[in-house]
Amino acid sequence: MQNIRIPPNATIALIGKYNAQGILEPLRAIAAMLLQRGHTVLVDQATAQHGDLSQCTPATLDEIGQRAQLAVVVGGDGTLLGIARQLAPHAVPLIGINQGRLGFMTDIPLAQANQALQSILDGQYEAEQRTMLHAQVVRDEQEIFASVAVNDVVVSRGSNGGLVELSVAVNGQPMTTQRADGLIVATPTGSTAYALSASGPILHPQLAGLLLVPIAPHALTNRPIALPDDSHIEITIRGGRAISAHFDMQSYTEIQEGDRIRVQRSHHHVRLLHPVGYNYFAMLREKLHWNTSPLLDAEK
């Protein structure tokens, strides 16, 4: 992707999961460092109300999108996913500081935040662009819900319902009809999320592809499949009860028989900045423990 220039006096947004235990002190430290470097620092309103960041300027996420040239997100992957969806129309680059658990996207450890941020602001960083999805739910030819997603769009049954019966068409061509607990449409970023738990393959984030992964299908011949990322996917609900469509598992809508969920690549992207030396495979080795051997561990 095209290199991103961060001006010395850039306006930078600081967004944190303010109610997470132990997060306020790191937020204050990062804010102090940014202010000392001469940056204007915007803080999302919820964090500003609870974080005692009086030298920063409170702002809505829409205002952040319009004014900020960079956003620093402190939290877990879920926090970054939510912010990425809301800031994507503004093309604001994101830096993820991990204060959560796994940290697939929030790749900078909290203890290294200030040092990593200083280097990135000095122009030493790796930039990458991640695919997003755009989905709409259509009922009686009327759109009733629409959203974007970074990880996935999931159609699933409710806790008290039976299997979901659905059919899938790709680019207008019938592909499959199946009964299952649900179906995941995932980006390469989302291939290490819910899709991986449902036995889907891992796609490198720079691969131009999308995944269709059935969740506990009734017929074991229904398997995951990778599609070109310019595919137009339409899922039609044929039967089932208490069905819902989820977008990154953070927003959802209830759907019913006859509804269609149309999914395609969004024209928006997530723009991420990483410290120099960031390596996707090193991240997989660390997060998925690919650098350990159960047999060797058992012999210790």
Token pair for 291? 């650098």
Q: Which residues pair with 135 in a beta bridge?
A: 147, 263
Question: Does 77 qualify as catalytic in the annotation?
Answer: yes
CA-CA distance, 226 to 229, in Å (whole number)? Answer: 9
Cβ-Cβ contacts under 8 Å for 255 (sequence gap 6 or more): 137, 139, 155, 237, 243, 244, 245, 261
Nearest-10 crossing angle of helices 24-36, 113-121: 30
**Which amino acid, one-letter code, is at 186?**
A
CA-CA distance, 256 to 237, in Å (whole number)? Answer: 7
Catalytic residue among 44, 52, 77, 297: 77
CA-CA distance, 81 to 212, in Å (whole number)? Answer: 20
Q: Are 110 and 97 in contact (CB under 8 A)?
A: yes
Residue 91: strand, helix, or coil: coil
Residue 37 vs residues 92, 113, 245: alpha-carbon distances, Å: 20, 15, 44
Give catalytic residue positions. Answer: 77
